[in-house]
Amino acid sequence: MTNVLSFTPTTPLLRHLSVFSILRRRHNPTTLKSPPHTLSQSPLHCAPHPLPRPSRSASALPAPADGLMQDAGATAVVLAGAYGLVLCFDNLTQRNLLQQNLSRKLVHILSGIFFMLSWPIFSTSTDARYFASVVPLVNCLRLLLHGFSLVTNEGLVKSVTREGNPKELLRGPLYYVLILILCALVFWRESPVGLISLAMMCGGDGVADIMGRKFGSIKIPYNPKKSWAGSISMFLFGFLISMGMLYYYSFLGYFELNWIQTAEKVAFVALVATLVESLPITKVLDDNISVPLASMAAAYLIFSL
Ligand SMILES: C/C(=C\COP(=O)(O)O)CCC[C@H](C)CCC[C@H](C)CCCC(C)C
Ligand SMILES: Nc1ccn([C@@H]2O[C@H](COP(=O)(O)OP(=O)(O)O)[C@@H](O)[C@H]2O)c(=O)n1
């Protein structure tokens, strides 16, 4: 199998791989007629492996309806997961088993990571990304309703804000879900750019807060609100979670990676994200916007080389 990380925008958006068709392919070696493509590079789209059309029994639904059912079900499952995650941390915070700040950060870290992990359960349809984007969109509406106090939900506010002020929902958390929507729609499962950017925002920035608050006695010279411990954690966890996510998608057959090159490129993106996160610009630009956007730009450039 050619071991190259490569993507191409020229190949039309062929049928995307879903975890089921990949597992079917993996466990049915006879269908793997030829090694996957080696493609020219571009960071926007990878042409999925040539997939044989799955054989369908006479009683099976026609492909579009089948995909529609799968995407509708996946959307319901991920929506329930999102609601359950926040409810779980709400309970832990309400029972004072978890500090509010830590609860918010764990929701920050886990929401995006679980969201990315869920993408392969959606169908191979080119519309699957729109179904997946419904989840952060529903949460966006939820944050708006609660942020403007049109609806009250103590638990959500307590598990997702710093001081328990509903208006806080209209900043960090809202930008966070908007970035989830952007990455799902623009990059989806086809490109490492979205996965790496979300890993930096969720894993890197989230862990930086936890480690920085706990061990951040030595501050960064140009930003006394940030610390070396926080920034080093941002780099390390942003890198590790990005690589882990790329390995997950590689295992499922979405990417073929040259791991040495990929590690070097992801390290570069993690460095850029860490530098941006350390800047004293939070009052002007929330780091749930600056970190993922800087990561997208850096990842797009470095994966184009
Ligand atoms: C607390 C959050 C952001 C705050 O960021 P910061 O200001 O501390 O830098 C995250 C808010 C998460 C949101 C309420 C729920 C998002 C759920 C997500 C769209 C889907 C998760 C699905 C998965 C299966 C659990
Ligand atoms: N690089 C970093 C990031 C955060 N932190 C610590 O984490 C706290 C919250 O960081 P932040 O303002 O970036 O929080 P969010 O905007 O990510 O919620 C900071 O006030 C620091 O105590 C750090 O020490 N070093």
165-175: pLDDT as tens digits: 999 999 999 99
Which residue type occupies 41? Q
Task: Tell me how far the alpha carbon of residue 18 lies from the centroid of ligand 1, in angstroms.
Answer: 24
Q: What is the pLDDT of residue 94?
A: 87
Query: Residue 181: pLDDT above 70?
Result: yes
**How many domains does the chain fold into?**
2
Task: Find tokens 């990455």 and name the residue.
Answer: 183
Both 213 and 176 in one domain: the answer is no
Compute the mean pLDDT over every residue in the chain, rounded to the nearest whole number: 84
Is 135 near ligand 1, meaning CB less than 6 Å away? yes
Is 288:175 a contact under the CB 8 Å cutoff?
yes
Q: Is 287 in the pocket of ligand 2 (CB under 6 A)?
A: yes
Confidence of residue 2 (pLDDT cuts 50, 70, 90): very low
Write down which residue in 166, 189, 212 finishes a domain: 189
Torsion of CA 272, 206, 134, 79, to 10 degrees: 150
**pLDDT score at 135:** 98
**Alpha carbon distance 295, 183 (integer Å):** 11
Please work out whether the CB of residue 86 comes within 6 Å of at least one atom of ligand 1: yes
For strands 223-227 and 219-220, give the pairing: antiparallel
User: Same structural domain for residues 201 and 255?
Assistant: yes
On whether both 92 and 144 belong to a single domain, the answer is: yes
Least confident of 25-34, 168-177, 262-271: 25-34
* 139 in contact with ligand 2, CB cutoff 6 A: no
Residues 161 and 145 in one domain: yes
CB-ligand 2 contact for 213 (6 Å cutoff): yes
Q: Which domain holds residue 105?
A: 68-189
Quote the ligand 1 centre to 218 CA distance (angstroms): 29
Distance 207 CA to ligand 2 centre (A): 9
For residue 212 and ligand 2, the question of a CB distance below 6 A is answered with: yes
Task: Tell me which of 85-94, 128-137, 211-220 is least confident.
Answer: 85-94
Higher pLDDT, 163 or 206: 206
pLDDT tens for residues 210-257? 999 999 999 999 999 999 999 999 999 999 999 999 999 999 999 998
| 282 within some domain | yes
Distance of CA 25 from the midpoint of ligand 2 (Å): 44
Instruction: List phi, psi (to 5°) of 219.
Output: -85, 160
Collapsing DSSP to helix, strand or coil, 226 comes out as strand
Residues 157, 257: one domain?
no
What is the greatest pairwise CA distance in the chain?
A: 68
Q: How confident is the model at residue 164 (pLDDT cuts 50, 70, 90)?
A: confident
Closest atom of ligand 1 to CA, residue 136: 19
How much is the pLDDT for 15? 43
Q: Is the CB of 172 under 6 A from ligand 1?
A: yes
Query: Where residue 281 falls among pLDDT bands split at 50, 70, 90?
Result: very high
Lowest-confidence segment of 1-10, 104-113, 116-125, 241-250 by average pLDDT: 1-10
Amino acid in position 102: L
Given this model, what pLDDT does residue 143 score?
96
**Are 278 and 231 spatial neighbours (Cβ–Cβ below 8 Å)?**
yes
Tokens of 89: 């941390």
Is residue 89 within 8 A of residue 98, CB to CB? The reply is yes
Q: How confident is the model at residue 156 (pLDDT cuts 50, 70, 90)?
A: confident
Nearest alpha carbon to residue 116 among 45, 47, 191: 191
Q: For residue 20, what are its two tokens? A: 């089921």
Asked if residue 273 and residue 237 are part of one domain, the reply reads yes
Q: Residue whose CA is closest, atom 7 of ligand 1?
A: 172
Distances in Å between the Cα of 107 and the Cα atoms of 55, 94, 150, 214 are 41, 15, 23, 18
Q: Which residue, among 222, 305, 211, has the nearest Cα to 265 in the 3D structure?
A: 305
Do residue 154 and residue 209 come from a single domain? no
Structure tokens at 254: 């979405």
Q: Which residues of 243-267 are buried (b: 16+ CB within 10 A; e: fewer)?
A: bebbebbbebbbbbbeeeebeebbb
Sign of CA dihedral 149, 108, 137, 75: negative
Amino acid 4: pLDDT: 37
Q: What is residue 52's predicted lDDT score, i.e. its pLDDT?
A: 41
- Distance, in Å, from the CA atom of 283 to the CA atom of 241, rounded to the nearest integer, reads 27
Please indicate, yes or no, if residue 8 is contained in any of the structural domains: no
Instruction: Please tell me if the CB atom of residue 115 comes closer than 6 angstroms to any atom of ligand 1.
Output: yes
For residue 116, pLDDT over 90 is answered with yes
Report, as an integer, the average pLDDT of 268-286. 96
Measure the CA–CA gap between 174 and 142, rounded to whole angstroms: 9
Do 7 and 191 form a contact (C-beta atoms < 8 A)? yes
Provide the pLDDT confidence category of residue 1 given band limits of 50, 70 and 90. very low
Mean pLDDT of 248-268: 95
Q: How far is the CA of 59 from the centre of ligand 1 (A)?
A: 41
Give, using CA atoms, the residue closest to atom 4 of ligand 2: 209
Do residues 161 and 201 share a domain? no
Q: Calculate how far, in angstroms, residue 218's C-alpha sits from the geometric centre of ligand 2.
A: 13
| Ligand 1 nearest atom to the CA of residue 156, by list position | 14
Instruction: Report the separation in Å between the CA atom of 9 and the middle of ligand 2, taken as the mean of its atom positions.
Output: 37
Residue 61 lies in a domain: no
Give the lowest-confidence range in 14-28, 65-79, 154-168, 236-250: 14-28
Residue 171 lies in a domain: yes
Q: Which pLDDT score, from 0 to 100, does residue 3 have?
A: 40
Structure tokens at 107: 């929701």
